[in-house]
Amino acid sequence: MLPALIRATAAVCALALPAAAAAANDPLRPDQPNLSLIESDGARANSSTGKGAIVAIIDTGVKRSHPDLQGGRLLQGYDFVDNDGDPQDEVDGHGTHVLGIVGAAEGNAVGVSSVAPGARLLPVRVLDNSGAGFIADVAKGIDYAVSQGAHVINLSLGSDVPLLGALGGDEYDDAIRRALAAGRVVVASSGNNGAPACEQPAASDGLICVGAVNNSGTKTSFSSFGPGLAITAPGSEVLSTFADNGYTRISGTSQASPHVAGVAALLVAKGLRGQEVANRLLATARDAGSRGPDSVYGAGIVNARQAVAGFAPDGVAGPRPKGAGRSAARISLRSPASIRSILRRGVRVRCRAAGSGRCRVAVSRRGRRLAAGSRRVTLGRSAVTTARLNRRGRALLRRALRRRKRITLRVRVALPGSRPLVRRLKLRP
């Protein structure tokens, strides 16, 4: 067992195609049902291309000479395998494929289309020619992407030993947390082991864990799912650029993740950042499987058209559409409630999160904390969190009960994947 070893999460390399002749605009677009599934053409109708956004692809590098990656949007990047400024993807092809899904040139009469053809692309090589690498290099790559101004970071990476900590460790998790704290969007593949949990250890900290569906919108057999999964995207037989300057179909959650990273870039171009982007992705996903968020599809299948709906075209100032920064998180609590019940049981809040993590409840009055509590929650499932009264809270409620006085408390709930939610709790004697 090599606990620091990681690999790219591609499942199948099924079909290699020669570079297309420049006979028509994106002649291979009809062979990309993945883009139709996420309605990328609908996003383009809103003049949404991701222009102004920077997406870092932390992977095997990029084949710079590929004809569908020309046009000046490909940034220099860095190679943490050879420790130089030339992150070339010469053999493996995984990074070139992932990068092409995000931002291959569009309307250039060559090859394929992409999710965010206006975004700038930052290649960061952390995997060698066999698609393997080390956690330390990935952590360096994440920090580098932040330092270079990347708005979105894509991690199409998986573990040789899933769920046993091979992809975990403080270096990796801490680098992701630093990126999230810096307001970056971090998108990662859920894994190809069909495991009942996202194979990204930082999935509960705000990272967007992406599972794979086929072109009919059904979960693939290889896609890992369960706790930590945030959203799904196409990951079956996805056609994209490859290191031989041609095009190849590959299946894997590695291919699902860049679809979400690309839609994130479209939202960055609209002025959203960090958690706002994550919230919008989850809130506008197309529902799949059980009604509402669930452990198989997360919030649903990412939808580019709906994500940018209501925004002005790229480069045009305009108001944000209603709910642009809103998430799929929900809370409920019974109000009014009796003072006796709160003294006996505390303040109970039912939390439904837009991601996995902790539901934290704080109860106050006139700025003074009266009760607090937290509980771990999983995306797609509701859980009741109880805030227990402190000494001040118990004294206040007992005094109100003796005087037969009604009071109102402020309940603040912090949930993963959303802004804090605030409710008023009315109490009667």
| Catalytic residue numbers, as ranges | 59, 94, 254
Ordered strands of the 157-159 beta sheet: 132-134, 5-8, 157-159
Closest CA to 365 of 390, 344, 337, 385: 390
Encoded amino acid at 429, one letter: P
Determine the straight-line distance between the first and last CA of the chain, rounded to whole angstroms: 62
Sign of CA dihedral 147, 156, 97, 230: negative
Measured CA distances, 411 to 155, 331, 381, 393, 399 (Å): 37, 11, 21, 13, 20
Q: Which token pair is 269?
A: 């171009």
- What is the C-alpha separation between 258 and 238, in angstroms, rounded? 11
Burial of 389 (0-12, 13-18, 19+ CB in 10 A): buried
Angstrom distance (rounded) from CA 218 to CA 24: 32
Number of Cβ within 10 Å of residue 95's Cβ equals 30
Which has the closest alpha carbon to 47: 147, 96, 116?
116
